[in-house]
Chain A
Amino acid sequence: DTAVSQTPKYLVTQMGNDKSIKCEQNLGHDTMYWYKQDSKKFLKIMFSYNNKELIINETVPNRFSPKSPDKAHLNLHINSLELGDSAVYFCASSGNGPSQRTGELFFGEGSRLTVL
């Protein structure tokens, strides 16, 4: 079973459209994240949720809206897509129990978004 799965893996769309990326983890982790990796390869955190509650919201345009229906899911909805949104978006999760190394992230395979 895939630990952190996200769909779709590839997404090509026109400027101005709205799209969503879904993420699910079956690791029982409390914390989930969305990262953006652009062409320069920097991993930039966008959002972090702990037990369905938003705990990190970096300087991200409000066109990006995360939604966490339960602690195993964290979806990312993007409105009015722009060319600069083209990147690979990684979902990740981490545990914070005593047996889990704080900060060790488990990543999904990434969703490559191309905005034309």
Chain B
Amino acid sequence: GQNIDQPTEMTATEGAIVQINCTYQTSGFNGLFWYQQHAGEAPTFLSYNVLDGLEEKGRFSSFLSRSKGYSYLLLKELQMKDSASYLCAGMDSNYQLIWGAGTKLIIKP
């Protein structure tokens, strides 16, 4: 079966760094996506990885290891506005997205 696992909730301090992990099992693999979803709002695209390694985009970076079926999203210099749910999604061989339940990130001052 296809499955995406990520922690339900994490807490971090403003200005710190946090890493949100995701493990995936998909039928075939065409990439791994991270989306951000603020409460009551739509998900918005953050990153896409299809090759192994780290992709950096400002304060956010995303890492992929295909051999381990593992990805993480790294958030640096945390700001209060980063409080949101972070959704991991794997794309299978049919180019369909398989979604995790999201990790709720709580930022404390």
Chain A residues with CB under 8 Å of chain B are 40-45, 48, 56, 90, 101-110
Minimal beta-carbon separation of A46 from chain B (angstroms): 12
The answer to whether A107 and B95 touch across the interface, beta carbons within 8 angstroms, is no
Q: Is B30 an interface residue (CB 8 A)?
A: yes
The answer to whether B30 and A102 touch across the interface, beta carbons within 8 angstroms, is yes
Across the interface, name the chain A residue whose C-beta is closest to B41: A109
The answer to whether A103 and B31 touch across the interface, beta carbons within 8 angstroms, is yes
Q: What per-residue 1/0 map shows which CB atoms of B90-103 lie under 8 Å from chain A?
A: 01000111010110
CA distance A110 to B98 in the complex (A): 19
The answer to whether B99 and A107 touch across the interface, beta carbons within 8 angstroms, is no
* Given A41-B101, A101-B48; A107-B96 close (CB under 8 Å): no
* Given A101-B48, A102-B30, A104-B48; A45-B97 close (CB under 8 Å): yes
Tell which of A103, A106, A110 touches B97, judged by Cβ atoms closer than 8 Å. A103
CA distance A40 to B91 in the complex (A): 21
The answer to whether B41 and A104 touch across the interface, beta carbons within 8 angstroms, is no
What A residues does B41 contact at CB under 8 A?
Answer: 109-110
What B residues does A107 contact at CB under 8 A?
Answer: 42-44
Q: Is B85 an interface residue (CB 8 A)?
A: yes
The answer to whether A43 and B99 touch across the interface, beta carbons within 8 angstroms, is yes
CA distance A106 to B45 in the complex (A): 8
Q: Can you pick out 14 interface pairs between chain A and chain B where the beta carbons lie within 8 Å of each other? A: A41-B101, A43-B43, A43-B89, A45-B96, A102-B95, A103-B30, A103-B91, A104-B33, A104-B45, A105-B35, A105-B45, A105-B97, A107-B43, A110-B42
Tell which of A41, A42, A103, A109 touches B42, judged by Cβ atoms closer than 8 Å. A109
What A residues does B101 contact at CB under 8 A?
Answer: 40-42
Q: Is B87 an interface residue (CB 8 A)?
A: yes
What B residues does A44 contact at CB under 8 A?
Answer: 99
Using A41-B85, A109-B41 as known contacts, list a sample of 11 further A-B pairs with CB atoms less than 8 Å apart, ordered by residue number in A.
A41-B102, A43-B43, A56-B96, A102-B91, A102-B95, A103-B31, A103-B95, A105-B43, A105-B45, A105-B97, A107-B43
